[in-house]
A = this chain, B = another copy of it.
Amino acid sequence: MDQRDKDAIKEIVGEDHFTDELIDLVSYSYDSSDHDHRPDCAVYPADAEEIGKILQLANQRGFAVVPRGAGTSLAGSTVPAKGGVVLDMVRMNRILDIRIPDRQVVVQPGVVYAELQKALAPSGFCFPPDPASGKVCTLGGNVATNAGGIRGAKYGVTRDYVLALEVVLPDGRIVHTGTKCMKSASGLDLTRLFVGSEGVLGVITEITLKINPMPTASRTALASFETLRQAGQAVTDIMHSGILPSVLEIMEENTIRVLRENYGAELPDVKALLLVETDGYTDAEAAYAMGKVVSAFEANQAKTVSQAKDKASAEKLWAIRRSAGSVAGGLRPNNLSEDVTVPISKVPDLLEGIQKIMEGQPYPFVIFGHAGDGNLHPKIMFDGADPVQVKDVHHIAEQVFRLTCNLGGTLTGEHGIGLAKAPYMTMEHEPLAMELMRLLKRTLDPNNVLNPGKMALDD
């Protein structure tokens, strides 16, 4: 980009909503992954029209445009790999409409996830997906990465709740997709083309979401197991038991040890923990489901089973689980946090396989995740200042991806591909599927102006 391009962009968004100061550009060169690349400038667009004009210019002048929410991507999805303009959606942060009788909300992409939940709570409603970064991440980012969370087993992912979108296409035109009805079978599904597309096909500027009444009762229990296989069989038995737990989390021995030693959690010295929540609108429903869960624990020789007596003791258990990532992350300056996912019954194989890959490696690691939908988070701690360690860890990640794909899994359950997993796309997707994805990208964005370099689409 040259000065003329920057001036033209200033013209579009206004001087106050443009920056090319070094301190800002450095900030926008990162997200929450270990990738970085500096953009030429960043803007704070007010609306879809301004974004459209920037994209028109981008096509004429050949610079890249990268939409960005809160920058919580763990995959480098918002890192401007080819420079250009970062669109920080922070000003497009209004909740436009809450229509409880229609079970809908309309939001701009820059609305922070937690702000929507806060706005819905007084009506007893919620947006069910629950990314761990909910306090800061934006709904635009949630839609663009098809975000999940710990309640996915029962409540699905962001994709299941998107009814309609306003999207600025790569050529700058603004399209409205989907329906404001609960369901529609009208025409090709343009909406889902953009959900999970990580900003490579369009810039999402308005989102209509389906919302749910909030469950009002829940039960929580924690069980410990002396072998991974027992924990795995307990998960299988729970899935067979005729109920759907709202949360079904697994933590392996390293996670347990780190939580005991570095967080002071009172946890037994075992190979695996399962932490389960059941829910409903009545305590009877949550208790019935928890009865099935506890039976599965007992049938698989759980060493200990503890049911939370009340909300406070349940919260204590969840706080332990929530700390796992950050406590482990503190062991070394850097960490690689993955979200490989396999069919539910393969979770023990994946856990054991990762443990085997890590045998003899000097890097501390933990594995925890959502056993209820097969989504595990292996986290490997290292020092990013040491190029040998960086190389080692990337080699380990590649082995984990290969193992996952061999188990019939996917590279990412909820983080997205971005830059981090782009080199491994062909491990998971067959050549023709890759060709189709690239064809879609090329057809919608022939000049490759939108978020180039991601998802291995421009290889």
Interface residues of A in 405-450 (CB under 8 A from B): 408-417, 421, 425, 428-430, 432-433, 436-437, 439-441, 443-444
Q: Which residues of B contact A145 (CB under 8 A)?
A: 185
Q: How many Å from the CB of A420 to the closest CB on chain B? A: 12
Given B189, B344, B410, which contacts A196 in the complex, CB threshold below 8 Å?
Answer: B189
Interface residues of A in 172-227 (CB under 8 A from B): 173-177, 179-190, 192-193, 195-197, 200-201, 212-214, 216
A69 within 8 A of B: no
Q: Once the chains bind, are A183 and B148 in contact (CB under 8 Å)?
A: yes
Given B181, B280, B412, which contacts A185 in the complex, CB threshold below 8 Å?
Answer: B412
Write the chain B residue with the least CB distance to A152: B183
Q: Once the chains bind, are A373 and B183 in contact (CB under 8 Å)?
A: yes
Write the chain B residue with the least CB distance to A147: B185
A243 within 8 A of B: yes
Interface residues of A in 128-187 (CB under 8 A from B): 145-148, 152-153, 156-157, 159-160, 169, 173-177, 179-187
Complex Cα–Cα for A180 and B212 (A): 26
Q: Once the chains bind, are B183 and A375 in contact (CB under 8 Å)?
A: yes
Q: Which residues of B contact A160 (CB under 8 A)?
A: 156, 160
Q: How many Å from the CB of A397 to the closest CB on chain B? A: 15
A236 within 8 A of B: yes
Q: How many Å from the CB of A110 to the closest CB on chain B? A: 20
Q: Which residues of B contact A384 (CB under 8 A)?
A: none
Q: Once the chains bind, are A186 and B282 in contact (CB under 8 Å)?
A: no
Q: How many Å from the CB of A424 to the closest CB on chain B? A: 9
Write the chain B residue with the least CB distance to A456: B187
Complex Cα–Cα for A196 and B102 (A): 23
Q: Once the chains bind, are B413 and A185 in contact (CB under 8 Å)?
A: yes
Q: Once the chains bind, are B193 and A240 in contact (CB under 8 Å)?
A: no
Q: Once the chains bind, are A148 and B341 in contact (CB under 8 Å)?
A: no
Interface residues of A in 227-250 (CB under 8 A from B): 235-236, 239-244
Given A175-B436, A182-B374, A187 and B425 touching (CB < 8 A)? yes
A99 within 8 A of B: yes
A32 within 8 A of B: no
Q: Once the chains bind, are B195 and A189 in contact (CB under 8 Å)?
A: yes
Q: Which residues of B contact A242 (CB under 8 A)?
A: 124, 213-214, 216, 281
Q: Which residues of B contact A375 (CB under 8 A)?
A: 181-183
Q: Which residues of B contact A373 (CB under 8 A)?
A: 181-183
Given B175, B408, B436, B457, which contacts A430 in the complex, CB threshold below 8 Å?
Answer: B175
Given B103, B281, B440, which contacts A188 in the complex, CB threshold below 8 Å?
Answer: B440
A92 within 8 A of B: no
A285 within 8 A of B: yes
A276-288 vs B, CB cutoff 8 Å, 1 = contact: the mask equals: 0000111011001
Given A282-B282, A440-B188, A99 and B345 touching (CB < 8 A)? yes
Q: Once the chains bind, are B281 and A186 in contact (CB under 8 Å)?
A: no
Given A160-B160, A282-B288, A437-B190, A416 and B185 touching (CB < 8 A)? yes
Complex Cα–Cα for A175 and B433 (A): 6
A89 within 8 A of B: no
Q: Once the chains bind, are A101 and B148 in contact (CB under 8 Å)?
A: no
Write the chain B residue with the least CB distance to A372: B182
Q: Which residues of B contact A284 (CB under 8 A)?
A: 282, 284-285
Q: Which residues of B contact A123 (CB under 8 A)?
A: 240
Q: Once the chains bind, are B341 and A181 in contact (CB under 8 Å)?
A: yes
Q: Top 3 A-B pairs ranked by shortest CB distance?
A: A284-B284, A192-B192, A182-B373
